[in-house]
Structure 1
Amino acid sequence: MTTTATTHGTLPEAPIAACWAWVIDQRQWRLGGHTNDSAEASELMAVLDVLNATAGSREPLRILLQSRTLAERLTLSQPDREAWETGERDASDASLLDDVYREIAGREVEFAWSRTAHSTAVVAHPWSPGLCQDAGSERDEAPVPMDVREQIVRLESSLLGAEARNDVERLEQLIHHDFYEIGRTGRYWEREEVIRVLNTMPDQVQAVSFDRVVELAPGVAHVRFRTEDALGVVHRSSIWMREGDRWQQRYHQGTPDTQTG
């Protein structure tokens, strides 16, 4: 059996927060932010991460890439690769490419461009292209039904207010058991610590505005919004998953806006 992963990356100036992402299925995926100079360097970060995440597997790995150029580069034969490496290389990509080549040594790894890959491989992971989007690219995310959108916005908003924060049982219902967060300072937070901090932290948000709610897969939604408090503006991104009849926050990231003020 071959494990199939799909990767993606965006530029820092993309219309949504710049990120890299990979997905195998609804329980095997990751994404993160970046400040790389190129979308290819961003996607290489996703490739490296999925290689590391599957390092212990003995199954062949097939990686579908959003970038056609990168897919072609990673499938070069050893002589062609060496010839290319003696020419000019983008400095932002070179180190990451070297890391990828080291990770695939001795492993059965295949790279392909996602748009020419076999259709069943793409359909198996329909939400992966929606994790991030290039500026000007076609959007493959499904629109969220209005009632679901309103519900997720309401749940996200409740985490900003005192009513939910003062209720530990409510917080435990809203926050997924595998939740983690990268906060505005870059600190990594896990579920229990986030619940404790939210329960003791007063409501500090002065303004909030939502601008994006999309469905990444059935029962998986991404919401993007902006908050403002005494410390400044923060761009926020959350992933919500439906567990049974309940939506729970699975991931959250806050990035300070350093361009304002």
Structure 2
Amino acid sequence: MTIVAAADGSALGNPGPAGWAWYVDENTWAAGGWPRATNNQGELMAVIDLLDSTAHLDDDLRILCDSQYVINAVTKWMPGWKRKGWRKADGKPVLNRELLERLDRATMGRRYTFEWVKGHAGHELNEAADVRARAVATAYQNGSPIPIGPGWPGRGDETRRAEYGDLTAPVVPAGPAASVAPAAVELDLFGEDDVLDAPDDREQVMLLERELLSPAVRADSSRVAAILHPDFEEIGSSGRIWSRDAIVNELAGEDTESADIEVLGCEVLAQDAVLLTARTSDTRGSALRSSLWLRVDGRWRLRFHQGTPEA
């Protein structure tokens, strides 16, 4: 028999209130999280807990995961990291070592495979795990009870319940906004060791561009600063040149509204550079956007942006 389960993580702010979840069906799922963590930590913990929760079973495990960071960590990078004393090729310490070591131990002797699924694309199991991980992150943000789920049937979850309490209420998306894809504030930023093919690079840049248009993200100064390159510059519609600090401060006090975006082009200029052009529209009208994204230390950062209102 093969157990098929989805595992996902969510962080509101990245780092910020964070959740993780794995999901098999309505009677078999679990979730948890922390007051402050990163999305990658949530992704790792979801897989760790899934492996721990099924350790007593003699079944194959197929893990559906939308995090290439987690999949590559297990299937490509971990042997090299361990040989180097949990250091990367450049000699720097591997991030999230404690969780990675737990994941390494959890996989020992197990029969498992990973299957990458595209996040926020309507995959039933992935969406179910995503909703539950996001619900935990939101609960930490709001100070409400943590919905941990029933866990694996017949398995005692004393450790989890001692931490979170006996909270097994079902999780329901909070209105239409919960089903909008992508949910910008929980975007999975790939780990610093990821080297992606061009199509994936373009997709990641398009998701980040959409994220920057989200009112929730624009109101989160730390999140905006994390997406922008340290040397970010923007030429505004008035001709003013904005620095990263200036735009972060401006957005923090801005009452923003949701905007629709139509991607017009997304061109890979070099291995670590992507140019995106798009049209945005809101109640104020439409504008053309040009954005230059650079990959720095494995993560995409917006280096330059210019927006021009359409006549």
TM-score normalised over the length of structure 1: 0.45
TM-score normalised over the length of structure 2: 0.39
